[in-house]
Structure 1
Amino acid sequence: MLPLGPVIGSVQCTSCHGRFGVESLEQPTCVRLGGMLRDAQYTVALALLAAGGTAHRAAREAACAAVRDAGFEDCGEAQVLAALAALSGLGGELYDAHGMAGGLAVELHAVLEPLAPHLAQPGRERLLLQGAAIALADGRYRPQERDALDAVGRCLDLPQARVGALLEAATRAPY
């Protein structure tokens, strides 16, 4: 027997069959990353619908369209409103005097913060702009919608100045 030197650990991808160092196990798989992105789009849609209220049909339709575009094709308005009620604490006001209701604030942080390091800035900005489209579906930003969008920007680690510029640009974009 001849010693060949130290053995370097590696893993092999079952999709591409490429070999990578074991540190690659710390990164999400493409399936996991896709799931994280779908959950993020869904949560942003719920947060913005809650911020603007559910009274306006255009906002409800925009939120439901965003949820379906995220990959939840069978999710209709009833399911979105039920999820919103569950996250908002089973009735009462969806937003309190200090901003987002507890369940939605926790959900935004839990879903967006782990995703942010894995997305390039254009991807993080796109999530914010999807929320802006929901907020603008029924008119100008309401203060609570703006607060929710600021929270989305913070969770996605976007600079506050960039969030402001994107939200201002979204008001001029045709939808």
Structure 2
Amino acid sequence: MHPRMRRVRPAGVRTSWRTVDDGDFFCAACGGDRRYRLRSGRRRFVLLGVPLLPRGAAGPVVECGGCGSHFTPDCLDHPTTTRLSAMLREAVHSVVLAVLAAGGTQARAAREAAVEAVRGAGFPDCGEEELTALLAALTADGRVCLEIELHETLAPLAPHLAVPGRESLLLQGARIALADGAYGAEEREVLAAVGRALEIGAGDVDRLLAEARMPS
């Protein structure tokens, strides 16, 4: 008998797959951003290579276009590294604006600290004029608009950041608030809101605000 003939299974269950969606995702097996295919399938009982009885649905599964690994669809809830970087930049920007709005833009030291933080986050062309103009536009209808933006930016990011990353965002805001002196009441209120949006407990917020006051 031919060697290939001996490997043929006379009967079994075979799955036929079809692609229902595709895109980019973070592959935990590859450790980076990759293309994916979202696939669903139908299982059938096969006899001598001929599909006969249906055996139900298979999947859906996410298949990595790089390594071929399969994952459950909830892996698509994790942002790609590209998207996560963008979310971090937006988060720093929002925290900076919220702290400036609470403490005012009159102090040059605070403005300079804010510009430094925003540039370090990935906005190298941002200057004081641009930052204060954007702040004026966002606060034109009151600070409620800015507080809503702060929550909408930070809350989706929090589940994807480890504790040190979330604390680092809060500390950046605290250092801007301290650039022109001690915390004001409104600055403390905003920083507490930042902590809540980042899922940092009130006790840890107090600890971090005290830590920011210590000389580096």
TM-score range (shorter-chain normalised) is: 0.7 to 0.9
> Greater helix percent: which structure?
1
Paired residue type of 1:23: D
Q: Out of 166, 185, 194, which is 1:152 matched to?
A: 194
The residue matched to 2:62 in structure 1 has which SS?
A: strand
Q: Which residue of 1 aligns with 2:145?
A: 103
Q: CA deviation at 1:7?
A: 3.7
Distance (Å, rounded) in 1 between the aligned partners of 2:89 and 2:155: 14
Q: Deviations over 1:98-117 (max 9, x none)?
A: xxx11111111110111111
Does residue 87 in structure 1 map to residue 138 in structure 2?
Answer: yes
TM-score where L is the length of structure 2: 0.70
Does residue 125 in structure 1 map to residue 176 in structure 2?
Answer: no
Q: Larger deviation: 136-145 or 54-63?
A: 136-145
Does residue 69 in structure 1 map to residue 99 in structure 2?
Answer: no
The share of aligned pairs that are identical, in percent, is: 52
RMSD between aligned alpha carbons? 2.0
Distance (Å, rounded) in 1 between the aligned partners of 2:96 and 2:188: 14
Q: Which residue of 2 aligns with 1:41?
A: 92
Q: Larger deviation: 107-116 or 6-15?
A: 6-15
Distance (Å, rounded) in 1 between the aligned partners of 2:161 and 2:173: 17
Higher gyration radius (CA): 2
Report the CA distance shift for 1:16/1:106 in structure 2 as closer, same or farther (over 3 A): farther
Distance (Å, rounded) in 2 between the aligned partners of 1:84 and 1:128: 19
The residue matched to 1:138 in structure 2 has which SS?
A: coil
Name which structure has the greater RCO, CA cutoff 8 Å, separation 6+: 1
Gaps of at least 5 residues in structure 1 are: 95-100
Q: Deviations over 1:42-99 (max 9, x none)?
A: 0001111111110100000000111101101111111111110111016xxx7xxxxx
Report the CA distance shift for 1:129/1:9 in structure 2 as closer, same or farther (over 3 A): same
